[in-house]
Amino acid sequence: MKAFVLDAYAKAARLRLTDHPDPQPGPREVLVRIHAAGLNQLDSKIRDGAFKPILPYKLPLILGHDLAGVVEAVGAAVTGFAPGDAVFARPRDGRIGTLAERIAVDHDDLALMPQTLTMAEAAGIPLVGLTAWQALVELADVQPGQKVLIHAGSGGFGSIAIQLAKHLGATVATTTSTGNLDMVRALGADLALDYRKEPFETVLSGYDLVVCGLDGDTLAKSLRVLKPGGRLISISGPPTPEFARRQGMTWLMQQVMRLLSLGIRRKARARGIRYDFLFMRADGGQLAQLAALIEAGAIRPVIDRIFPFDQTNDAFAYLDTGRAKGKVVVALTTPRPSITPIA
């Protein structure tokens, strides 16, 4: 099969298109012919070497965390999936590799694809959709009437998180650039702030939850908008010692994570706020619940651009500009026209 592999960690490293042995599914695995693969900032950070201490992959590595495709074969212990099923997934850490023609996925990570979506649209959902679900539903347990701030609302994660938070009954604020204000309002944001013109930390107050995927001062400034007892969830770091323990890291790495997050954790405690770092995990059951919301019309994917497979490096270059509205997707087959254009 054809696959794009990373040979060495380096900033903006180019992936190499090569022939790679076809995967053979184990007893609990499903062999999927990939039709489309979504790109994520996590792919770029792994490529750049930023996640070596957390995800010690052996190189060369096939990158890619999102897929939509068709089942070709199933292992002996697999139930719920059969050849010919249209599926989508975020394969678990250690088993990634969706920038290839085929992949073997643990059946617990897989879900039937929403019938209302194209392959390219479905490929844009898993990682960001699961991140939004685990932040808003699992960790924060967002309730109707609560106030939620989601940073970078026009990005892949933000565009899904806004819709999910509104579905949960929250009042949603978001930050974005001038040109994307109408887009995030169309997704359901009650208050859209132009981060270049309106400092969110001086405009907003009394919020129950902030979900932040931005680096720099934004995380610390987010504490100012939260009420005592509120919650700050970061999906970009710094990681906490609790995260390190959950990942089974060594005592030394736990202490490193403790030091990295010490500043923000101290500031949060001083304000009576809980700080969490979320590194999403694969979960086919949660993905199935997201699929049901998509089919019910509560959530729709936002796809910025679809690149052909042989232009995967160009797709990464576009993703790295930080200007994508929603998701960037690589198509391994010719996509049919999208049914959910960007607002």
Q: Which domains does the chain have, with CATH numbers?
A: 2-125+301-331 (3.90.180.10), 127-277 (3.40.50.720)
Residue 333 is predicted with a pLDDT of 85
Residue 111 is predicted with a pLDDT of 98
CA neighbor of 330 nearest in space, from 163, 97, 94, 110: 97
Q: Is 280 exposed, middle or buried (CB count within 10 Å of its CB: 0-12, 13-18, 19+)?
A: buried
Residue 340 is predicted with a pLDDT of 43
What's the token pair of residue 291?
């699929």
**Half-sphere CA count of 169, side-chain side, radius 13 A:** 6
pTM of the model: 0.94
d(CA 34, CA 15): 18
CB-CB contact of 281 with 134 (8 Å): yes
Residue 140 is predicted with a pLDDT of 97
In this prediction, the residues of the chain whose per-residue pLDDT falls under 70 are 334-343
Name the E strands within the chain.
2-6, 16-19, 29-39, 61-62, 67-74, 86-89, 102-106, 110-112, 147-150, 171-176, 191-194, 207-212, 226-234, 274-277, 303-308, 327-331
Specify the 3-state DSSP secondary structure of 137: helix
Residue 215 is predicted with a pLDDT of 75
CB-CB contact of 209 with 233 (8 Å): yes
Q: Cα 193 to chain center, whole Å?
A: 22
Instruction: Kindly report, residue by residue over 138-180, the tens digit of the pLDDT.
Output: 999 999 999 999 999 999 999 999 999 999 999 999 999 999 9
Residue 112 is predicted with a pLDDT of 98
SS3 content of the chain, % helix, strand, coil (to 5): 35, 25, 40
Residue 334 is predicted with a pLDDT of 66
Instruction: Report CA torsion sign: 92, 212, 144, 116.
Output: negative
Residue 342 is predicted with a pLDDT of 41
Residues facing 326 on adjacent strands: 155
Counted residue by residue, the chain has a size of 343
d(CA 153, CA 143): 20
Specify the 3-state DSSP secondary structure of 303: strand
DSSP 230-295: EEEEESS----HHHHHHTT--HHHHHHHHHHHHHHHHHHHHTT-EEEE------HHHHHHHHHHHH
d(CA 195, CA 177): 6
CA dihedral defined by 81, 87, 88, 90, rounded to 10 degrees? 20
Specify the 3-state DSSP secondary structure of 156: helix
d(CA 1, CA 107): 21
d(CA 163, CA 212): 16
